[in-house]
Structures are given as structure tokens and as C-alpha cells.
Structure 1
């Protein structure tokens, strides 16, 4: 929709207009020139649209609130904005604005209460002005503005409630005055994704609710903020020492994320029941020892418990059965010694269960409830000592794995925290920093399961990945696997499977990785579709197999032949065979695969990573402000 062609059709522009509010209306094109010349305009809210072009000079000296955020505007900030002396709110984040912004230009805007320049291509510079202040400023958001130093003018601020300086290049120790600014007023503080070093002894804010210092280089012990804190994020730093029991003073906290540090000692027992509001407890990739706390009370709302990659021992605490809101339970890569926790099957919201790389043992058994694991989509029991037959009766009940979901991209998590999980995909470990709600996988590899692969697996039509490798499975490959039309990788290697490879598997056009090696399979290898792309290592260790891509030919006349492509002709035309097959029949396979890899290995341009955090940051900011009952104006 174009604003110029749809406003005031058939009539003149009302020059006395004081408010123009058209937020989130998919408006496009340039902002009409008449908007800039309205003499009485006080409120101009055009955020969340698709406006392009530059921002022109404003003629109205009455303008109090200007919101052009989340558009596609480019160019520099017009000089006229610095002369709008009545301006109280300036929000131009998430555009393509560029240029150097010398902050002293804002010195005439003494009425300014809210300023958001985040996520453009700006370079904001500060100087230590002895007399420069913005006395009424309550909200300063300048994420992704190439800032290299702290805004020193804030040292005397007494009304600041929100400070957001993430995704910049601020280095060195955090000055004491920064941790004291807005001592009685500050509620939102975000300095994540910078290069901060040194230690933080304590936070001095009395009413802080949101603290994010994640992805820096901070050292020392964990500093505990005020009991008023609701979101506490210090992951991906270099914190050491024990987790102080004073963390249990945060009686209203909702999210604690201290992952990817070097914390050690035992997890305080009080961590399980100190806050009835706790939704996320993420302590993965630390060095915690001892037992998992056993104090999860009835009525708790814990949604995500991630203790992956520690050195925890003992059994799983049965008080976890009280976590009726649990969606993600990741206890993988520890030293837990227990049998399979069948009692977890009754958790009605559980979607991700990671128990891999522990010392768990014994058979899995049969369900004891009518709808066990009814929402489970990701299960990893790999690298344990589970035995007996595969749990056919459980597979029959995995409802969420049977229903193929739509292709809409949705992710698990909440505004303050994004769920992550480490999985084996196509033979490689990946950390998914976002978990798609349509991502479904089973990994029972590296155990001692015996017997046949149940045909009921073919009913799990939403499966993206299936890994039964390195067990003691026997019998044929079920032809019912041909129903797994969403399957992208299948690994049943290193077992004792026999018989022929079902020809129907060639119909799995989404299959990008296949590993059948180390079995006792015989007969011709199917051909067509994805099977024409798999190399020798997919079939090695099966002396009875024949046909392409193996050098061993089949005896009968109907033996499969190499794919009908002339390698030499392809090369002469500038194509490489391995590139050609990637586009053959894969459809969304490659899209998902590339997405998973980009999210996990992080080898992307900083601007791409910043854009991802920008979207999340906006969601966090809005959710936080909405929850605490404040508005940016």
C-alpha cells in the first residue's frame, strides 16, 4: 500500500493534523513530502512498515514523537531532527541508515526521554563532554551502532530505566559508574555481544529486572543481581568458581542462562524450588559435578532444563515428574547412571529429551500411560548401554512424530531466551541455536539394542533423521521406511542387518545422507533419485552388495546401471556432478540443511548474525516493556 496514493483521496491535506499513526500497515514507497511539511504535527508513528528512500527535513517544530523504526529507509539522519527541541521520543531503529553520528548533536534535545538508533549502519561516537547531559532520558537503545566506548554522559543520569548497547565493540572492564547508573530506576540492562573483560564484583541496581551480559569475555565468579531480577543472562563468558547459593535469592526470576562458562562444584540444591516463576534454567557446557538437585516442587512452571555437557552423576531425580510444563529436558553428555526413566512419559508438554552420552543401561520397556510422550519430537539416547529390543510400543504412540507439520518456520523458546540443542545430523555434531518446531529426529545409536527394526517406524512420517547405528540389530531393512517421505538422513550402519535393500527406498527424494555400511546386506543397490548420489562409503562392509556405485557388478541382466549422466559431458559444460545432484529432487532438503549448518557453525558474516539478534532483540524489548507495563513513549 502506498501512503501518498491512499491518503486523503479526493480532498486536501489537513494542515492542522497533529497525529499521524499508521504503525504496522505494510505501507511502502517513499514517505510523501507533505508529511514533512505538516506544521502542527506532534505525533508521527510510521514504524513497522516498508518505507524506502531517505528521511527528509521536518518543518514542524511541534514534533514530540517520531517513530520510523523497522522500515527500509537509508541515507543519513537529517540535520533538522537535531533542531526539534520539543522532541521527546526518537525511534529510527532497524533501517539502513548510515553515517557517523556525533552524539553532541543531541545536546539541544533536552526534552528527550527515549532514543533508539539500533541496528542501522551508523557509527556513534561519544566524547567526555563536561557539560553535556540529557536530564530526562529514560531509555537509550543503540545496539549495533559500532560503539567503542561507554556513553560517559550517562554517569549523572537518575531517570534511566532502559540501557541497551549490545552488538557493539566496547572493550575493557565495565566501569563502576556503569553498574551504578540509574541505581534506583534502571530495570533493563543489555551489554551482550561486546568484548568486555575483567570481573564484576556486584550489581548496584535496586530495581533491575533484566540483565544480559552474555557473549563477552568476563571472568571471575558469578555476580548475583538484585532479588527483583526476572531475566539473568551471562552465558558464553569465562566465569569460574562455584555457583553461589545466593542465586536462590532471586525469588522472582524467570530465566537463568549461565551456559558456556567454566563454573564448577555442585549445583545448589535450592535451585530447584527457589522461584515458582522459573521457566528456564540453562547451565549447559560447564564443569558442574555431583547430583542433579532433587527439589523440583509441585506446581512449578519450569519449561527448559539444560544441564548438557557437565560431569553430573547419579540418577535422574524423580521430582522432575512435577515439572508439568517441561518442553526441553537436556541432560546429555554427563555421567548419569540409571535405567530409562519411563516415568517421564507422562509429562504432557515434553518435546525434546536428550539423555545421550551417559551411563544409562537396561531395556526401555513398555509404556505405562495411555499417551506416552505425546508431544515428543526429538529423542537422543545415543552412547549409553541401553539393550533389549527397540521399544516398538513407544514408537506406536509417538503422535507428534506421525503428523507432518506445515512448513511455517516456528521456533521453540520465548522472548527472553531461545532454546538450543546439540544433535547428530548426517554424521556430524551440530548445535542448533534455534529449534524448529517441525524438526523431528530419533537417535538410539551406540547402544546394545538387539532384534529387528520394527516396521512401525514407517508411521513416523515427520522424521527428519533416524540413527540406529552401532547396535546389534538383525533382520531386514523394513520396506515401510519408504513412507518416511521427510527423512533427510538415515544411519543404520554397524549392525547385523541382512537381506536386500528395499527398492522402495529410492522413492525417498528428501534423503540426503545414507549410511548402511558395516552390515550383512546382499543384492543389487537400488538406483534412481537420491540413490544415484550416494558414494561407496554408504555401503562399505557389505560384501554381498553389488551395483553402482560399487565396483562389483551384479550377475543378473537387470542389475542397476550408473545414472544416465555423462560425467565427461558435464565437465565440458562447466558443471560438476556433485553440484548437479544437490539440486536433484532435494527440494527443501538443502534449504533445511544449509540453515542448520549456518545456525550451528557460526561461519557467517557478522552482519548476518547481528540481523538475527536484532529480530530477537526487538521481540525481547517489546515483551519486556509490555510485561512491566511501560511504553516507550
Structure 2
């Protein structure tokens, strides 16, 4: 790599299922020596155990993918400090741990943030409240706790994917104003609250809605029928929803439906 004069993009490894055997190993000590300023760096599925040292001198990165490796330590706040233009950060399926508290100004340009399947913990990071242009947020399969911010569910109008599955969240905001949301997974937490006051007319593009295995209560509002023309997956199982489930027309695209283990009544 040292002989390549001015690369802007470096992609090594492969995408796809991390469970499939991969014999590629990157030697952090000598494999990569890059003096040029990169814009895109993807080292997915490379069996990395530490972040390559040459990143200490990078200042123009816009996209970084370290998913499906063996990286440990704290959230790499220094990477955001050095690369103010960073828009895409994927740390999925590593061994990062600890709380996350980067200053909001460091993440102001982030559009895609995936830190799922690590060992992060503590309160849901307040710094995400400053990510007004965020389109994809995946914090699933960590050990976060606390409340789902009302700010997140109301002001992030660009958000398309929101995944907080398998954490320990406690309160799910009943106010959603995410008109671009297509993918919402809040399952396997300890969320309480109700969907009764949610105006589902604002979520007509929602394709995946999963709040299963929580402690949510109340009735499903009649505006939920606005999702019938878009939903592919609907999972409300193992909550305490009650009353009549809103009917009136058929789901056009639905491939998975689970309303079991609730308190619904009627036909």
C-alpha cells in the first residue's frame, strides 16, 4: 500500500455475513502505510484487533467501516475530532465497550451511525440529539439504558432507520414526527408507555415496525390503519396492548404479523 501515491478510497475485506469463515488478517504493524489523505476507508471482516495507526494522521475521512472485526476499547471519539467531515461510521459487531459521550459538535455531519452488536453501556448517548441530519441510527445489541429521547422522535425528520433493539431502554416517547421513517425496531427492551397518542398518519412510509417484548400498554389508535399500504413486518408481541386492533382494510405488502401475548379483544 505504501507505493500507491494518492489513493482516496481504500476498501479491503468483504461485506456480508460475518459468520462465514474469513481467512483475511490485517497486520496493524506493517500492512498499511498510507501518507495520502483518504476519504473512504472500509476494512470490514478483516480480523482487525486494533485500529490501524496510520489513521492518527487522517483528517479528511468521510466514510469509515470497521464492521465485523475484533476491535476493543472505547468509542473512537478521536476519529471524529480529526475528521470533521465524517458522514458514515460503521463499527458494527466488534468488542467496543463503555459509555459514549462525544460532544454533539463532533457528530454534526454524521448521516449514518451503526455501533450495533458491541458492549457499549450507560445512558442512551445524549450527543445523538445534535444529529439533525441523521438518516440511519443503529444502537441495537448493546447495554444502553434510559429513555428514548423525545427530541430524537420528534426533530430527526431525516431519519429513515432507527434500531434500538436488545438494550435496556425504559420509556418510549409517544410523540413521533419522523415522516421519512421506514424502519423502526425497538424490540427486546423494557420500554413502557403507549402508542395511543401517536399520529401514524405521519409514518405512512413505515415498512418495519417492531416493538415486541417490551412493557407497553394502551390501545392502538385508529390512525394505525394508515400503515396498511406500506408495512412489510409488524411485531407487537409480548406487551400489554389492549382493546380492538384497528381493522378495515387488508395489508397490501405484509409478510410477517405477530400480535400474540397481548390483551387485545374482539374479532
Cα 1:288–1:326 change in 2 (3 A) is same
Residue number in structure 2 paired with 1:239: 144
Residue number in structure 1 paired with 2:242: 337
Rounded Cα–Cα distance in structure 2 between residues aligned with 1:335 and 1:227: 33
CA RMSD of aligned residues (A): 2.0
Residue number in structure 2 paired with 1:117: 12
The answer to whether the 8 A contact 2:181-2:203 is kept is no
Residue number in structure 1 paired with 2:192: 289
Cα 1:347–1:157 change in 2 (3 A) is same
Residue number in structure 1 paired with 2:95: 195
Give the superposition deviation at 1:152.
3.2
The answer to whether the 8 A contact 2:147-2:170 is kept is yes
Q: Partner of 2:45: helix, strand, or coil?
A: coil
Residue number in structure 2 paired with 1:144: 45
State yes or no: 1:168 paired with 2:168: no
1:2-37 alpha-carbon deviations (Å, 9 max, x no partner): xxxxxxxxxxxxxxxxxxxxxxxxxxxxxxxxxxxx
TM-score by length of 2: 0.86
The answer to whether the 8 A contact 1:182-1:205 is kept is no
Residue number in structure 2 paired with 1:13: none
Rounded Cα–Cα distance in structure 1 between residues aligned with 2:185 and 2:136: 12
Q: Partner of 1:309: helix, strand, or coil?
A: coil
State yes or no: 1:258 paired with 2:157: no
Cα 1:232–1:340 change in 2 (3 A) is closer
Give the superposition deviation at 1:335.
0.7
Give the superposition deviation at 1:139.
1.1
Rounded Cα–Cα distance in structure 2 between residues aligned with 1:206 and 1:294: 28
1:263-296 alpha-carbon deviations (Å, 9 max, x no partner): 102x21332x2x2211011100011112125222
State yes or no: 1:215 paired with 2:128: no
The answer to whether the 8 A contact 1:180-1:205 is kept is no
Where does 1:166-565 land on structure 2 (aligned, <5 Å)?
166-183=67-84, 185-202=85-102, 204-223=106-125, 224=128, 226-247=131-152, 248-265=154-171, 267-271=172-176, 273=177, 275-292=178-195, 293-298=197-202, 300-323=204-227, 324-343=229-248, 345-362=249-266, 364=267
Residue number in structure 1 paired with 2:17: none
1:306-360 alpha-carbon deviations (Å, 9 max, x no partner): 00000001111222112231221111100112134323x3443333221101112
Give the superposition deviation at 1:155.
2.9
Rounded Cα–Cα distance in structure 2 between residues aligned with 1:197 and 1:151: 18
Give the superposition deviation at 1:179.
3.5
Q: Looking at CA atoms only, which structure, 1 or 2, has the larger radius of gyration?
A: 1
The answer to whether the 8 A contact 2:80-2:86 is kept is no
The answer to whether the 8 A contact 1:139-1:160 is kept is yes
Q: Partner of 2:73: helix, strand, or coil?
A: strand
The answer to whether the 8 A contact 1:269-1:295 is kept is no
Rounded Cα–Cα distance in structure 1 between residues aligned with 2:202 and 2:93: 37
Q: Which has the higher contact order (CA 8 A, sep 6+)?
A: 2
The answer to whether the 8 A contact 1:331-1:354 is kept is yes
The answer to whether the 8 A contact 1:233-1:258 is kept is yes
Cα 1:309–1:172 change in 2 (3 A) is same
Structure 1: 5+ residue stretches without partners: 1-105, 365-633
Rounded Cα–Cα distance in structure 1 between residues aligned with 2:169 and 2:202: 28
TM-score by length of 1: 0.38
The answer to whether the 8 A contact 1:117-1:141 is kept is yes
Q: Partner of 2:216: helix, strand, or coil?
A: strand
Structure 2: 5+ residue stretches without partners: 15-21
Give the superposition deviation at 1:125.
2.6
Q: Partner of 1:153: helix, strand, or coil?
A: helix
Rounded Cα–Cα distance in structure 2 between residues aligned with 1:309 and 1:340: 18
1:405-449 alpha-carbon deviations (Å, 9 max, x no partner): xxxxxxxxxxxxxxxxxxxxxxxxxxxxxxxxxxxxxxxxxxxxx
Rounded Cα–Cα distance in structure 1 between residues aligned with 2:185 and 2:25: 34
Equivalenced residue count is 250
State yes or no: 1:159 paired with 2:60: yes
The answer to whether the 8 A contact 2:220-2:245 is kept is no
The answer to whether the 8 A contact 1:306-1:328 is kept is yes
